[in-house]
Chain A
Amino acid sequence: MNTFKRFSPLLLILVILLTPTVIKDNYTFHLLIMVAIYVVMTQGLNLIFGYTGFLSFGQQAYLAIGAYVSAMLALRLGLSFWVTWPLAILATVLVGLFIGFVTLRLRGAYFVIVTIGFAEVVRLLPMNIDALGGPPGLRGLPTPNIHIGNLININFEGTKIPYFYLAWAMALFAIFIVNRLVNSRQGRAFLAIRENDSLAQAVGINIFKYSIFSFTVSVALAGAAGAFFGHYVTHISPEISAFHWTLSMILMVVVGGQGTIWGPVIGSFIFTLLPEWLRAAEQLRLPIYGVLLILAVLFMPNGVLPWLRKIWHQFTEKTRKAPPEAGSSPTHQASS
């Protein structure tokens, strides 16, 4: 188990690196890129929701802020994606800090209402401001081409493979950050806030500070994903601030397994690939999502990940019949 754990990141990187040897068609690559973008977003939502216990209904706002800031900087100032991307994340962080500061003192309905209200404001801005492109949005965002002298030339036009690598590098980085955070005093502070905020305070945890911290990392990831998305499809419109983005994220986190690292990853795969099979029922997508969410909450409150783990354990026990070693406890919340 331990050796498996140690080498699983390497294994994952290897699988990602080798994917283009197996998959050849652009459409599958597109789906896998979308999965990666959703992984980044859901790692963020999971941090504030799954680990810290605040359900943020307005994540789409930060997606939009990331996308628009990066797009505006690139189109108006002619800056490269590699400059606008970090700046867009920074802008999202600043907005997130402000919103967090105003809303996170209070829990529950107040937080939910303000996050929704703020997201609505963010949705209306690009619709009504011509400089932001109005309803049609902004076109012709530059691709993240890399030219370093004559040595390195990575062109993102006409092929999806560089995007695929970049998207998954970003996704792995998001997983890495969240995983490290939750297995530390900072992450345990998040969990303490989720589980019992007065006891958390009683042992000296500044719950306001740690809520803001979790929220800020969460929206930074949304901003990173949004900006990347813009430069991937090279065209953004106010659609990027639509609620369905957050609804999908919530679905992915809840059905995958909230408060676990790999749950949202599994959820991202399921709900990016599932609509492809539901193509025929395009109109029914949201109702189907709604029903799935209710079913998940009712019958799998911890998501599919614990369930998959159980099957895996039964499977491994059958195959080797050896008693499970100590320390491989599957129950440790923050592990895996």
Chain B
Amino acid sequence: MSLLAVESLCMYFGGLKAVDKISFSVEEGEIFTIIGPNGAGKTTVFNVLTGFLKPTAGKAIFLEKEIQGQKPHQIANYGLTRTYQHTSVFQKLSVLDNALIGSHRNLTNSALDTLLHTRSWKGNEASAKKEALEVLGFLGIADHTDTIAANLVHGQLRLLELAIALCSKPKLLLLDEPATGMNPEEALKLMNLIYKIRDLGITIMLVEHNMSVVMSISDRVMAMNFGTELALGKPKEVANNEEVIAAYLGGGFKC
């Protein structure tokens, strides 16, 4: 049984077929990458999978549950978390608070526990803080724990987004162009982190446009164009696919 199975998923905006009959599955423990030119529908796939858009048709099955059309917070609570293409953090809060918000779904203390400062509140707060600091350390931004997010530089912000997502302890993590705006050195570090995250047992779906990165990091690649699936397979196979090459020659693919 695949961790995620997507069956002829369609997302139409009026006449625009942003995603058109896409099918694929993601196996536990792999890094599955979606590539494609601007407007191919990559982000739309993520938006549908995470419940931010209701698909026009098709199914998405995550951990044997049909998730299409469910609310974003419900899907996140099954263990499917995403990051955004455009930097998205809690701007006015400290780095630690950002990470702790990520932990929300793993904490169990009720509002009454909170008001009475029961043992449950204490235990939850302490372990959330400990884990958040571990995640920040793992990503190399532990020095900025008390910094307000808005004061971080771009590369650190992208890591903070990752920290928020990791603190929610996902089983499947959807990363939408996580290296955008990073310099090559930062991007390389990030890719190493993504490997490490996968080794922690978190399956990864990635949208990435840097082809050399894609080729080296991905277990499998799906190429999209105009909402449709061009090719799906091992990175080499996809890179040698004629339609994909044609799309490249057409100048469509970002690289």
User: Which residues of A are at the interface with B, using a C-beta cutoff of 8 A?
Assistant: 177, 180-181, 184-189, 191-192, 195-196, 198-207, 213, 329, 331-334
Contact = CB atoms under 8 A, between A and B. Distances in A.
Nearest to A192: B101
B104 A213 contact: no
Q: Among the interface residues B50, B117, B146, B167, which one has the most CB atoms of the partner chain A within 10 A?
A: B146
Q: Among the interface residues B91, B111, B167, which one has the most CB atoms of the partner chain A within 10 A?
A: B111
B44 interface: no
Given A203-B102, A334-B97, A186 B114 contact: yes
Contacts of B146: 329, 331-332
Nearest to B167: A203
Interface in B104-151: 104-105, 107, 109, 111, 114-115, 117, 121, 124-125, 128, 146, 148
A333 B95 CA distance: 11
Contacts of B100: 185, 188
Contact of A205 (B52, B101, B124): B101
B83 to A, nearest CB: 8
Contact of B76 (A177, A196, A203, A333): A203
Contact of A185 (B76, B93, B114, B115): B114
A203 B168 contact: yes
B114 A196 contact: no
Nearest to B72: A201
A94 to B, nearest CB: 18
A334 B164 CA distance: 18
Given A184-B121, A332-B97, 5 more contacts: A180-B117, A185-B124, A202-B84, A203-B101, A331-B146
Given A195-B92, A203-B76, A333-B93, A181 B115 contact: yes
Nearest to A184: B114
A333 B73 contact: no
A202 B101 contact: no
B164 A199 contact: yes
B52 A204 contact: no
B90 A191 contact: yes
Contacts of B104: 185, 188-189, 192, 203-205
Interface in B60-83: 71-73, 76-77, 81-83
A201 B94 CA distance: 19
B199 to A, nearest CB: 22
Given A199-B84, A203-B81, A331-B146, A191 B73 contact: no
B192 interface: no
B89 interface: yes
B8 interface: no
Nearest to B105: A204
Contacts of B92: 195, 333
Nearest to A195: B90
A307 B84 CA distance: 35
Interface in B13-55: 50-52
Contact of A204 (B77, B83, B84): B77
**Which 4 pairs between the two chains have the least Cβ-Cβ distance?**
A204-B105, A204-B76, A201-B72, A195-B90
Contacts of B50: 202
A184 B109 contact: yes
A203 B132 CA distance: 14
A239 B121 CA distance: 42
B2 interface: no
A173 to B, nearest CB: 11
B157 interface: no
A196 B115 contact: no
Contact of B114 (A181, A198, A203, A204): A181
Given A180-B114, A184-B109, A189 B73 contact: no
Nearest to B146: A329
30 contacts: A180-B114, A180-B117, A181-B111, A181-B115, A184-B109, A184-B125, A185-B100, A189-B101, A195-B92, A195-B93, A196-B88, A198-B72, A199-B90, A201-B51, A201-B71, A201-B76, A202-B50, A202-B76, A202-B81, A203-B81, A203-B105, A203-B167, A204-B76, A204-B77, A204-B104, A205-B101, A206-B71, A213-B111, A332-B97, A333-B94
A333 B102 CA distance: 17
A185 B164 contact: no
A203 B164 contact: yes
Contacts of A206: 71, 73
A181 B113 CA distance: 10
A191 B82 contact: no
Contacts of B102: 203
